[in-house]
Structure 1
């Protein structure tokens, strides 16, 4: 799917550059720079995001989220088939390759990788209580800062969590954070996290978060946010 997306975007905008592509919690994070693909460019990426939410991560057939980490699997790769069910599936022209030991190993590895990604995602966020302790304020104040767009937050299993990229060592917030958040208005939280944690060649090989933490001026980061397409 990503190969066809990349090819289609190159046709729409020959100047487009892919900076990062990832699947996080069943969401496609696709960061690019473009010479001006316009609405057609944006629609093609949106269609790819919709496809990612509905296809099995093992075989590419239609699927739905199956696990706590929202791993998308089809029926065949979610529940092992009995011998009778397998025979029926083969009679319905389902490829035999889907039932090999190699396919089962691939399926197990995919589920394990998704669980590992979920653990990594959790490790990269702070709870409201943890953020309050880190900043030395009340939980209520943390929530107010989130509502006032002074902190970046993301909804995770029905609760707000706070990405670690915005907090430096010693519990200090990243310089120019409110300015960055205003410039990133409308960007989905996971996409903003990917942008802030992704190495940017225009920032001397640092991530935007690292750049700001080490005293870099905010203008190049704002320019990066303005030039990147996030869908």
Structure 2
């Protein structure tokens, strides 16, 4: 077991201290619970017995400290996934320069679905994953029809992987390469619908 699993409260307190102690560890955990959606309600005796018997958990896992460790782990994994999804992504200004457009035009293209930038509430501003742009600086066509076909809660990393992985149904090309080569949108849409569990 890592020290993070053994002492999540200590790890959190040290991390907050490195940032100038902007809040207490308990206040941070309350905020984290709101963001992650974790329940702060205590487990019923039946829930506790079920988890101990069938889920491979022990008393330490179900303690307040164990639950905090789980929430921290989930938050860390979510952060890692979000960071991976936007690795190499372009800012609004960079997309405007790439496409030779005004920034307002880039934002408008996002709103109508011709460009993809997840997490509009990000304080760092919009970030446009690089996969939607061709090597010669064009936008991959068809995004306005394809992106809404993904289930609403599909993580941007899953969308990026799908769009860049070779597909037999597309003659071994990725959806990005298929669409950039003027392939029709319908086969890509069919694949997205078939993989609706993404």
State TM-score, norm by structure 1: 0.47
How many angstroms apart in 2 are the aligned matches of 1:144 and 1:107?
Answer: 37
Look up the match of 1:85. Answer: none
Pairing 1:201-212 to 2, within 5 Å after superposition: 201-212=168-179
Q: Aligned partners of 2:137 and 2:197: how far apart in 1?
A: 29
Q: Which has the higher helix share?
A: 2
Q: Which structure dedicates a bigger proportion of its chain to strand?
A: 1
Structure having greater relative contact order (Cα 8 Å, sep ≥ 6): 1
C-alpha separation between the residues in 1 aligned to 2:117 and 2:138?
16
Counterpart Cα distance in 2 of 1:120 and 1:162:
13
Structure 2: state its 5+ residue gaps.
1-29, 53-58
Tell whether the 8 Å contact from 1:152 to 1:189 is kept in structure 2 after alignment: no
For residues 216 and 192 of structure 1, the distance between their equivalents in structure 2, rounded to whole angstroms, comes to 26
The answer as to whether partners of 1:128 and 1:162 remain within 8 angstroms in 2 is yes
Aligned match of 2:110 in 129, 135, 146?
146
CA distance in structure 2 between the aligned counterparts of 1:104 and 1:170, rounded to whole angstroms: 48
How far residue 224 of structure 1 moved from its aligned partner, in angstroms, is: 2.3
How far, CA to CA, are the matches of 1:97 and 1:75 in structure 2?
16
**1:223 matched to 2:159:** no
For 2:107 and 2:159, the matched residues in 1 are separated by 23
How far apart, CA to CA, are the structure 2 residues paired with 1:112 and 1:201?
A: 35
Gaps of 5+ in 1: 1-63, 77-88
- Tell me, in whole angstroms, the C-alpha distance in 1 between the residues paired with 2:83 and 2:187: 32
1:155 shift after superposition: 4.0
With normalisation by structure 2, the TM-score equals 0.53
Asked whether the equivalents of residues 150 and 193 of structure 2 are also in contact (C-alpha less than 8 Å), the reply is no
Q: Please tell me whether residue 168 in structure 1 is matched to residue 114 in structure 2.
A: no
Other-structure match for 1:191: 154
CA–CA distance in 1 between the matches of 2:40 and 2:131? 37
Could you report, residue by residue, the CA deviation over 1:179-221 in whole angstroms, capped at 9, with x for unpaired residues?
34235446467639534632334235543124334x3622422
